[in-house]
Structure 1
Amino acid sequence: MVSTLAVILAGIVGFWIVLYALFGKKEIDPETGEPIEKEEGLSVNMFIAMWRTKRLLGFIDRVSRINPRFWKVYADVGIILGYMGMVYVFYALAKTAVQTLQTKGQQAGVQLVIPGVTIPLWYGLIGLVVVMVVHELSHGIVARADKLPLKSVGLVLLAVIPGAFVEPDEEELAKAPLRSRLRVYGAGSMANITTAIITALLITYAINPLLIPSGVEVKGIIPGSPAEKVLQKGDVIIGINGQEIKTMEDFMEFMDKTKPGETLELEVLRDGEKTSVKLTLAEHPDRPGKGFVGIQPAQHVESKVGSAKVVLPIFFALYWIYLLNVGIGLMNLFPLVPLDGGRMLDDVLKEYLPEKIARPVRYTTIGVGLLLLALNLWPALMNLAG
């Protein structure tokens, strides 16, 4: 039986072969006969497609001139948060990497962001578009506020990962003072965190008052757990052993009283229909002596003012905008080039350390970073492989 991962990989390779055949032809410099990158339009290499335009540069200039001092202070805060986020992400990935090794890949690390596969299609796409737009506009606005020139803006596709970019003049950026460079690098994640905070406020004060908790949704099932052959992704648990479950707190409080080997009768909503299922709990991997179902739970909600077809999509769109801005914004601070965190660390090492010390530190960081990423991606890839 062909695995899900094999089908996905075959589709990706086929897509890039066709795209490269149609758009992979390079422009040739008439003087040197060498291929050159297009300053505008679509250029395609194998597994990398970039579309460049200069049309948004005027807009970025206008925004940066509104209050250049504000943008510099904003970017300075981004530098501080950038280094704090760098330490946090490194620690978090190191911690989950250890858990991955201890559980032999059963403990989830980072989650792959693939709309329609690992996250909802349309809400995921909306969230990713917002992440990319605010991130790259912030890079560009801060660069122009510091008088650094931009060459183009555009969209990029790296294998299956969509993105956007603001392309600074790299020579001018390299000659700029360290603080200016750090401002530009830190501005992207600063925009993501700011967007996440604004979105969280909207959810808390504008959307949550319109919603009512109505059970715990199964967002994912851990392979090999008691839930694997009993529950389905999308099930909504509304009762356990006759006790009503409306909130995550209800669910966690009930599970905190359970023991390994205990059999539970769950009342669930599946495709809009009520059904009852039984499962026998395993022992919780992180809490010895406690029962373990093996699901990734999430609060299920309904609209208490009607208009569910309007209220709920707005809620889920804002939720995924919040979640992806936090996750991707922080992940971008991981100290690994070409991520912004990696560039922030690399420039500081070059500025303050002699090359004979900076180089081994840089290579060690890259090696450790790649190892941590591999360990954190292992469970996600195994889940895709089925």
Structure 2
Amino acid sequence: MTNVFIIYDLTFLILFTLFVILFLYRRRKNLQRQGLLYLYRTKIGIKFIDLFTKKYSKILKSLEYIVVFSGYILMISVVWLLAKVAWFYLTSPVVAKALKVPVLIPLIPYLPDIFKIDFLPSFNFTYWIIIIALIAIPHEFAHGIFARLHKVKIHSTGFGFLGPFLAAFVEQDDKQMSKIKKFPQLSILAAGTFANVLTTIVFGIIFWLFFISFFVPAGVNFNAYATSAVNISSIDEVNGISITDVSQIPLLLNGTYSEIIIDETLYFANSEALKTAIEKRIYGVQVFDNSPAYQSKLEGAITEINGEKITSYEKLNETIQKHSPGDKVTIKTFYQESVRENEIEERNYNITLGERDGRTFLGIGKIPPQTSGLMGLFYNLISNIKDPFIFYESKLGSFGWFIYYFLWWTVLICVSVAMVNMLPVGIFDGGRFFYLTVWGLTGSEKIGKKAFAASTWIILLMILAMMIKWALIFT
């Protein structure tokens, strides 16, 4: 993100905050304070909700089963995902350090910049205000539409203000809602997240169409040098000194990487990882080969080899194999420190190609993230749109990337809000949804309340445990 845009964006944030303050001051008679939040109630949108419900009542009735089913799918998915994240977060020595950001934090502008999360694009205020509207308005209106479908009165619509941060609401008659049957209540509760799912799908399609229309391959990315699996007990030398016993190795390690020799072959091992492996008596480790790429510290997306354009891994392999081991080539790369940096540094490397298994050898690789479940599904969906190991150029320049990351954040936040809102916790729609479900299955409201309270406390304790671990690491 350029400094010029940051200035514009922060100016927009200040002006918007002043507008909110002035707006609330002039309409202070319509405001109601609830804690730190100010609620501004209106009747805007109620007529639209009524007209929409009357016109499409048959379609909405038939959609109820899909809406409720989606609620259960989201609830099961988010509980499973939270449990998995909590397990890895609490048991892994590296996950919390890698994520950096607390597990419980409001979605605020510039979050990746504040916590220096290099793998996330910048999240500016302009993105934030538009995405909040795209999430909140369909979500709340969907609640209102399904409430009116079951003759539940809508008292008001409006906005909640916490400084420049906004929330939308549709206020239905809770007493009326509590008197209708359980299934209609479930459909009203799940309607908001269903709207978020639809929004995700719509913007996912827009994201895909925009990307294939305005982006072209211009290079290949890599995230690893060539490696080999070796047995620590086979090491003959460490940093030029011969050894006769594994216990000697930690005493000879120095720097980030140490040279090791096995059967007269040179490798480079991460000193800290090698030391830890020996302490834990893990004798199989991954080490870097003595490859041309490693020796030259090749970095960035490979865009050219001796002036020949590289736009795919097939083209890269074809170009390398045109040369023989020992040939000198000039490799051009585009280096970008993080996805939040617009500045791209052009670099040129003069490299002598090597030989491996009878083929010309550069020594780079690509290791896909080891993801599974919903995160794996999300990664695969995004990868099908934009291959993470291809370097792309925008036909629209910086503006193209601005729109790309706006759509990226929209899809990610929409699906995240849909899932989080179905957590079986008191403050979310999923809380009452879970309570009604247990009540309906057991026939006992008392059991439903106990199950609801138990799920709330279990999830809050999981989050508290992760927050404590984060605090211990970063404070």
Whether TM exceeds 0.5 here: the answer is yes
Output one character per residue of 1:213-250: Cα deviation in whole Å (capped at 9) or x when no partner.
456699xxxxxxx9xxxxxxxxx94259x999978999
d(CA) in 2 for partners of 1:174 and 1:380? Answer: 40
| Shift in Å, 1:173 | 0.8
Query: What are the residue-to-residue correspondences of 1:324-343 with 2, within 5 Å?
Result: 324-343=413-432
Output one character per residue of 1:12-35: Cα deviation in whole Å (capped at 9) or x when no partner.
xxx9xxx8xx97xx9xxxxxxxxx
Q: 1:114 aligns with which of 82, 87, 108?
A: 108
TM-score normalised per structure 1: 0.66
Match in the other structure for 1:181: 185
d(CA) in 1 for partners of 2:83 and 2:314? Answer: 29
Q: 2:455 aligns with which of 327, 343, 365?
A: 365
Check whether the contact 2:39–2:159 (CA below 8 A) recurs between aligned residues.
yes
Is it true that 1:50 corresponds to 2:39 in the alignment?
Answer: yes
The one-letter code sitting in structure 2 at the alignment partner of 1:238 is A
Match in the other structure for 1:323: 412
| Shift in Å, 1:62 | 1.4
Check whether the contact 1:213–1:302 (CA below 8 A) recurs between aligned residues.
yes
Consecutive unaligned residues in structure 1, runs of 5 or more:
1-14, 27-37, 219-225, 227-235, 251-265, 278-283, 288-296
Query: What are the residue-to-residue correspondences of 1:159-238 with 2, within 5 Å?
Result: 162-213=166-217, 237-238=300-301
Q: 1:269 aligns with which of 297, 317, 336?
A: 336
Query: What are the residue-to-residue correspondences of 1:38-77 with 2, within 5 Å?
Result: 41-77=30-66
The alpha-carbon distance between structure 1 residues 148 and 213, as it changes in their structure 2 partners (threshold 3 A), is farther
d(CA) in 2 for partners of 1:185 and 1:85? Answer: 12
| Shift in Å, 1:159 | 8.2
The one-letter code sitting in structure 2 at the alignment partner of 1:147 is K
Q: 1:302 aligns with which of 368, 393, 417?
A: 393
TM-score normalised per structure 2: 0.55
| Shift in Å, 1:320 | 1.7
Match in the other structure for 2:89: 100
Q: What's the Cα RMSD here?
A: 4.4
Match in the other structure for 1:4: none
The alpha-carbon distance between structure 1 residues 130 and 144, as it changes in their structure 2 partners (threshold 3 A), is same
d(CA) in 2 for partners of 1:362 and 1:137? Answer: 26
The alpha-carbon distance between structure 1 residues 302 and 267, as it changes in their structure 2 partners (threshold 3 A), is closer
Give the stretch that moved more between structures: 308-317 or 50-59: 308-317
The one-letter code sitting in structure 1 at the alignment partner of 2:432 is R
d(CA) in 1 for partners of 2:215 and 2:164? Answer: 35
The one-letter code sitting in structure 1 at the alignment partner of 2:462 is L
The alpha-carbon distance between structure 1 residues 359 and 170, as it changes in their structure 2 partners (threshold 3 A), is closer
Check whether the contact 1:216–1:245 (CA below 8 A) recurs between aligned residues.
no
Match in the other structure for 1:374: 464
| Shift in Å, 1:138 | 1.0
d(CA) in 2 for partners of 1:88 and 1:178? Answer: 22
Match in the other structure for 1:6: none
Q: 2:151 aligns with which of 147, 156, 159?
A: 147
Match in the other structure for 1:254: none
d(CA) in 1 for partners of 2:37 and 2:411? Answer: 27
d(CA) in 2 for partners of 1:133 and 1:64? Answer: 16
Check whether the contact 2:68–2:190 (CA below 8 A) recurs between aligned residues.
yes
| Shift in Å, 1:150 | 0.5
d(CA) in 1 for partners of 2:35 and 2:469? Answer: 27
Check whether the contact 1:100–1:375 (CA below 8 A) recurs between aligned residues.
no
| Shift in Å, 1:89 | 0.5
Check whether the contact 2:154–2:173 (CA below 8 A) recurs between aligned residues.
yes
d(CA) in 2 for partners of 1:246 and 1:353? Answer: 62
The one-letter code sitting in structure 2 at the alignment partner of 1:154 is G
d(CA) in 2 for partners of 1:367 and 1:249? Answer: 53
Give the stretch that moved more between structures: 308-317 or 75-84: 308-317
Report the number of matched residues.
Answer: 309
Give the stretch that moved more between structures: 155-164 or 91-100: 155-164
| Shift in Å, 1:368 | 0.8
| Shift in Å, 1:166 | 0.8
Output one character per residue of 1:290-334: Cα deviation in whole Å (capped at 9) or x when no partner.
xxxxxxx9956432xx33355433332222221111111111111
Check whether the contact 1:216–1:247 (CA below 8 A) recurs between aligned residues.
no
The alpha-carbon distance between structure 1 residues 145 and 286, as it changes in their structure 2 partners (threshold 3 A), is closer
Q: 1:90 aligns with which of 79, 97, 118?
A: 79
d(CA) in 2 for partners of 1:140 and 1:56? Answer: 10
Output one character per residue of 1:56-78: Cα deviation in whole Å (capped at 9) or x when no partner.
21111111122112122223211
d(CA) in 2 for partners of 1:248 and 1:164? Answer: 47
SS in 2 for 1:167: strand
Q: 1:344 aligns with which of 418, 433, 447?
A: 433
SS in 2 for 1:153: strand
The alpha-carbon distance between structure 1 residues 355 and 203, as it changes in their structure 2 partners (threshold 3 A), is closer
| Rg comparison, structure with higher value | 2
The one-letter code sitting in structure 1 at the alignment partner of 2:139 is H
The alpha-carbon distance between structure 1 residues 378 and 333, as it changes in their structure 2 partners (threshold 3 A), is farther
d(CA) in 2 for partners of 1:377 and 1:158? Answer: 24
The alpha-carbon distance between structure 1 residues 197 and 378, as it changes in their structure 2 partners (threshold 3 A), is farther
Check whether the contact 1:135–1:187 (CA below 8 A) recurs between aligned residues.
yes
Consecutive unaligned residues in structure 2, runs of 5 or more:
1-16, 113-121, 224-269, 271-298, 316-332, 338-342, 350-367, 372-382
The alpha-carbon distance between structure 1 residues 268 and 154, as it changes in their structure 2 partners (threshold 3 A), is same
| Shift in Å, 1:382 | 8.0
The one-letter code sitting in structure 2 at the alignment partner of 1:99 is F
The alpha-carbon distance between structure 1 residues 213 and 128, as it changes in their structure 2 partners (threshold 3 A), is farther
| Shift in Å, 1:116 | 2.2
